[in-house]
Amino acid sequence: MDPILQGRGKAETKYLFAISKDGETVDVRVAKDLLEKGHLYLDVRTVEEYNKGHVENALNVSYMFLTPKGRVKNPDFLAQVTSISKKEDHIVVACNSGGRGLRACVDLLNAGFEHVNNMGGGYSAWVDSGFAGEKPPKELKIACKSRG
């Protein structure tokens, strides 16, 4: 067994395999270059997080919702993404720090989306890199306050 996969559960192994086989986590600078070349930016944070600050021209479809019992996966995520993009589109997926984005990539790849990349570090990395969004950088930092 591959040493990277050793000691991991079946679901986690599938999760890692799906990303390494079909998709890729890219650095924020690479993601910026991809967006400049016309890739779509899919922000999978909640609407509340998105409204505090986001990348220009981003599409927002929440991957998870915050409930009194914690985060719950959006049961309509794939249908909502399919309604605003095609499976052939080149998509950069991001959340706040990378976790939800990576999970969303796995779901998209497993659903037949062909060109999906996760932006490592998420929107927090975008802000930390000094890239401008639709709000001044000082205000963008507020959107990342809750990150750990």
C-beta separation of 86 from 113 below 8 A: no
CA distance 72 to 104: 13
Annotated catalytic, 144?
Answer: no
Neighbours of 137 (CB within 10 A): 13
**Phi first, then psi: what are they for 104, rounded to 5°?**
-65, -40
Active-site residue (options: 40, 64, 81, 95)? 95
Instruction: List active site positions.
Output: 95
